[in-house]
């Protein structure tokens, strides 16, 4: 079932599906609980079906994914196939991206091609800090090649992360991997692969804006931060030079779309730019409209 864009008020390009509690590694559950405290999250974690209902009630389409960091974390991932199957059951409102740890090399590239062919996956989520790799490491290039062949999307966490924040040694998470400037090389080497720099990229916001403005295949999503905390330069660029390359994302459940949109409504965004950010840019990127 295709999304009815006329009935949607927005498209959330960045939402998370966590491994169901009964299958999650105990250490992963500790990490998730620390994240909930860090972001002051309330209530129970929702299943994917419940998330679909949540977004359906709000008339917001959502792109959802897990994060495969098996090689560094040791946590068993939420299988891409399960995420894709559940999203397909709610295809009126939900779309799945895959996630493959780049350390899986040729096996990961093979999996990506299979997910694209058999499940219609349009994009893949990467988290350089939890996966422990620089995005321009050639190790990841076979996986990018598989994504680029289909004209797919690669969405990368950029900037600081709440994962491991406040834990001894930051839980072993290294922030250096998520500097968006590393993605400038990727954008050059894979010009046919669409790249999303996820989140306001603190403390590298200007680097992210430079890469996005300079490379036609690079976009920015605004997830993970309340818009009231956006730096002025990000608001300025979103209103002007990159207004057709900026995407609404909440980072649900870290931040709810209700909170994000309410704060976005108070932001000094031009009336003609607001619908681009909330829905139209994502719809074009996802191939839902021309």
Q: Any idea what the CATH number is for the domain that residue 191 is in?
A: 3.20.20.140
Q: Say what percent of the chain tops pLDDT 90.
A: 80
Report the residue count for the chain: 290
Q: Report the run of H or E that residue 48 belongs to, with start and end.
A: helix 48-58
Please, are residues 164 and 170 in contact by the beta-carbon 8 Å criterion? yes
Contacts of 115 (CB under 8 A, 6+ apart): 80, 81, 84, 98, 121
| Residue range 233-256, pLDDT digits in tens | 999 999 999 999 999 999 999 899
In order, the DSSP letters of 216-273 are: TTEEEE-TTS-GGG--HHHHHHHTTTTTTSEE----BTSS-HHHHHHHHTTS---TTT
Model confidence, pTM: 0.93
Give yes or no for residue 36 having a pLDDT over 70.
no
Asked if pLDDT for residue 126 goes beyond 80, the answer is yes
Separation between Cα atoms, residue 144 and residue 19, nearest integer Å: 25
The answer to whether position 116 is within a domain reads yes
Domain range enclosing 153: 5-285
Q: Which residue reads 């669409």 in tokens? A: 194
Mean pLDDT, rounded, of the chain: 92
The answer as to whether 96 is a domain residue is yes
Q: Evaluate whether residue 42 is within a structural domain.
A: yes
**pLDDT tens, 155-207?**
999 999 978 677 778 878 899 999 999 999 999 999 999 999 999 999 999 99
Beta strands of 136-203 (E only): which ranges?
Answer: 153-157, 194-198
Strand partners, 2: none
Place of tokens 């560094």: 72
Domain count, the chain: 1
Asked if the structure places residue 290 within a domain, the reply is no
């Amino acid at each position: 079932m295709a999304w009815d864009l006329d009935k949607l008020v927005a498209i959330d390009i960045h939402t998370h599906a966590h491994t169901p509690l009964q299958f999650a590694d105990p250490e992963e559950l500790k990490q998730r609980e620390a994240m909930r405290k860090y972001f002051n999250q309330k209530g129970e974690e929702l299943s994917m079906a419940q998330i679909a209902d949540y977004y359906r009630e709000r008339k917001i389409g959502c792109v959802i994914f897990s994060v495969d960091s098996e090689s560094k974390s040791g946590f068993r991932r939420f299988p891409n196939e399960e995420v894709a199957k559940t999203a397909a059951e709610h295809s009126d409102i939900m779309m799945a991206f895959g996630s493959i740890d780049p350390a899986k090399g040729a096996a990961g590239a093979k999996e990506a091609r299979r997910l694209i062919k058999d499940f219609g996956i349009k994009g893949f989520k990467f988290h350089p800090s939890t996966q422990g790799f620089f995005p321009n490491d050639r190790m990841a290039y076979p996986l990018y090649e598989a994504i680029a062949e289909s004209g797919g999307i690669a969405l990368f966490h950029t900037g600081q992360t709440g994962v491991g924040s406040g834990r001894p040694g930051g839980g072993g998470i290294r922030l250096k991997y998520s500097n968006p400037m590393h993605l400038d090389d990727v954008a050059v080497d894979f010009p046919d692969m669409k790249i999303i720099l996820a989140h306001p990229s603190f403390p590298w916001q200007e680097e992210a804006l430079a890469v996005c403005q300079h490379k036609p295949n690079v976009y920015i999503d605004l997830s993970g931060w309340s818009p009231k905390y956006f730096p002025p330069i990000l608001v300025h660029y979103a209103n002007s030079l990159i207004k057709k390359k900026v995407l609404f994302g909440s980072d649900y459940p870290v931040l709810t779309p209700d909170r994000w949109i309410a704060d976005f409504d108070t932001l000094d965004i031009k009336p003609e730019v607001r619908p681009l950010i909330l829905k139209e840019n994502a719809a074009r990127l996802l191939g839902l409209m021309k």
